[in-house]
């Protein structure tokens, strides 16, 4: 073989381009993610609104509503309460509430789940519990695999859910892993400026109101009024206010909420996702993390 002369090598590099760096494992993962995302964009365009609404309604009806009574719609007494007094002994999902104690609401402080084996185990048990066969997560898995938005078996899908919802990241600016999609949406957080963000879950509100840490600032709003399924409340939590209000699904299990939010995140991320739950149409808004599009930043229902 004839050796290449220096001039020849230079010309080849000129036309081929100088390599900026050697590809490492991260590069391959990023390339794979971008390729998958391109495929998902094509597949999302092939899904019509009727298919999304039909799947959302199937998820909505897959678990019976819990017998929760709300008192905030016409409540005149002080202090205002979201839940009626006879609901003081309501039994919540133990796999869900087990997770409450691992998280720090304060942004800028590393969450206990980052280094806790106990928290990882609690997360695993929670995902296993909501992923029982023929439930909302099973319905979601069937739809996403049929439409090509997820490739893998059910075990891999549960791992995907754990990553999407529980992977820790920084929300406050900096490097501290102080947040996750699950914490923001279901548990709530307090910013460095002492403002409440997130907290779109009735079970969390119930538990906090029962403990004397959650207080309504004004009467709640409900939609639809005849058979309400979504509420909007302004409240004070741990002494800090959420003045813009927060919307949440009423009476639904964490499994239904996780499934609905994940459905909308996969088929219509970063824009309103219209669902019809029988009594009316509600938009579900999901937003991806700016730095990691595969992770969810927030999710909540919106009044029409």
- Give the catalytic positions in this structure: 184, 200, 242
Ordered alpha helix ranges (H), the chain: 6-16, 25-45, 49-61, 94-97, 117-130, 136-146, 154-166, 181-182, 202-210, 254-267
Distance CA 178, CA 111 (A): 5
Inter-residue contact 130 to 91 (CB < 8 Å): no
- In the chain, what's the furthest Cα-to-Cα distance? 94
| Angle between helical axes of 254-267 and 154-166 (0-180°, round to 10) | 90
| CB contact set of 115 (below 8 Å; sequence gap of 6+) | none
- Asked whether 122 and 111 are in contact (CB, 8 A), the reply is no
Tokens standing for residue 232: 């909007």
Instruction: Return d(Cα 199, Cα 240) in angstroms, integer.
Output: 13
């Amino acid at each position: 073989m004839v050796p290449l002369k220096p001039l020849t090598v230079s010309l080849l590099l000129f036309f081929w381009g100088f390599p900026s760096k050697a590809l490492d494992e991260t590069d391959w993962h990023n390339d794979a993610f971008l390729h998958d995302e391109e495929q998902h964009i094509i597949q999302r365009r092939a899904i019509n609104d009727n298919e999304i609404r039909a799947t959302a309604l199937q998820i909505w009806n897959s678990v019976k509503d819990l017998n929760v009574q709300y008192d905030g719609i016409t409540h005149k007494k002080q202090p205002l309460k979201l839940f009626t007094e006879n609901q003081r002994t309501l039994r919540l999902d133990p796999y869900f509430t087990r997770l409450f104690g691992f998280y720090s609401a304060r942004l800028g402080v590393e969450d206990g789940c980052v280094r806790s084996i106990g928290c990882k185990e609690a997360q695993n048990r929670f995902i296993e519990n909501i992923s029982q066969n023929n439930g909302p997560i099973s319905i979601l898995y069937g739809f996403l695999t049929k439409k090509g938005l997820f490739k893998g078996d059910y075990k891999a899908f549960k791992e995907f859910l754990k990553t999407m919802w529980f992977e820790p990241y920084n929300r406050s600016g900096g490097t501290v892993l102080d947040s996750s999609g699950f914490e923001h949406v279901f548990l709530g957080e307090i910013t460095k400026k002492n403002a409440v963000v997130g907290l779109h879950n009735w079970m969390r509100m119930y538990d906090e109101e029962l403990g004397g840490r959650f207080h309504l600032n004004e009467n709640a709003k409900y939609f639809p009024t005849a058979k309400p399924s979504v509420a909007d409340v302004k409240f004070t939590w741990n002494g800090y206010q959420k003045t813009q209000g927060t919307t949440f699904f009423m009476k639904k299990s964490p499994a239904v909420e996780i499934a609905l939010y994940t459905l909308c995140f996969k088929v219509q991320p970063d824009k309103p996702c219209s669902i019809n739950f029988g009594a009316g149409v509600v938009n579900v808004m999901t937003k991806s993390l700016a730095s990691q599009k595969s992770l969810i930043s927030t999710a909540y229902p919106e009044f029409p």
